[in-house]
Structure 1
């Protein structure tokens, strides 16, 4: 079987569903004219926006605020050589409104590395794409 037959393009709805099954992803942004990638906790809001939890006082929130960023998450099974990967692009904005911030403290993603109160960034999913590597012997419906 050709490897390409094992790769399935995912719909936007399936991509967002898969994203909701993992707690950590990687935000891709520009820092001093260089691409940077950092793992961050996240959640998908009811409006389909991604909410990223960031360490307070860091430069990441400033670097993301008002820019277009990318976000990637995946789940891979090394033994079975299967898995999926989803990539999201869109505008990012720092949550500044106190009521919105308070609500996200109650219901949003939690920092894994710190007990301090996180800062939150909303990333609007304008471009969403994903792929799944299927098990051997299973082909896509092409």
Structure 2
């Protein structure tokens, strides 16, 4: 596990370094553990995090797999552009993802999208979430579409996905179920103890809403030869 002196790199000077350090900390990994996974040396992981390297694509693929993410996410490539413009992969196949793996992919917290019926009809918007005891927890504004839906116990859909356009593959997880506003002291304390999701959009969003999914499904697109496949490069030196 990460030690206190390497969880937050103090001399990060590149976007790649920040993303690598942040992802490593999220997974609770030390540099030594990442190096072992990536077939590298701890000193080089430190170099990637703290300086401005230009590692080759082969090492980036290994590093992305070691950090259980994608080359696109690590490099921030196309981060300001809408995803999905890459060509379909050769001999791509779609697989269903079981419920247990869907929860694993949600990774406890992150940013997803909620589809909810609002005053002007159906709306979809991104927001931070936290997984607490088999429910999805959101922080939202008291007068938001999500808060109004929760007040009436309406059903919403929540989705998170990951795309690796470099290899034309990715996954998507969908949860559907009713939402409710959380106000009782016991539930509020339970959510706070788990680490309430801090909204990226800023203050003023202090209404806690939980989604209790009645349906959890997922799909994955795999491309032969891409990282993460049986004949891919994930395990290559």
For structure 2, the 5+ residue unaligned runs are 1-89, 231-237
TM-score of the aligned structures, taking structure 1 as reference length? 0.83
- In the alignment, which residue of structure 1 is the partner of 2:140? 54
| Runs of 4+ displaced beyond 6 Å | none
- Select the structure of larger CA radius of gyration: 2
Does the Cα contact within 8 Å between 2:119 and 2:145 map onto a contact in 1? no
Q: 1:123 aligns to what?
A: 211
Larger RCO (CA within 8 A; separation ≥ 6) = 1
Instruction: Indicate the SS of the match to 1:136.
Output: coil
TM-score normalized with structure 2 length: 0.52
Between the aligned partners of 2:161 and 2:116, the Cα distance in structure 1 is: 18
- Match of 2:203, SS state, is coil
1:120 and 1:20 map into 2 onto residues whose CA distance is: 20
Q: Alpha-carbon deviations, 1:65-94, whole Å to 9, x = none?
A: 311111000111111111110010011101
Return closer, same or farther for 1:74/1:127 CA change in 2, 3 Å cut-off: same
Select the structure that is richer in strand. 1
Q: Deviations over 1:8-33 (max 9, x none)?
A: 11000001110126510111111136
Equivalences for residues 91-106 of structure 1 within 5 A = 91-106=178-193
Partner SS state of residue 220, structure 2: strand
Unaligned runs of 5+ in 1: none
More helix by share: 2
Give me the CA root mean square deviation. Answer: 2.2
Q: Which moved more, 1:55-64 or 1:67-76?
A: 55-64
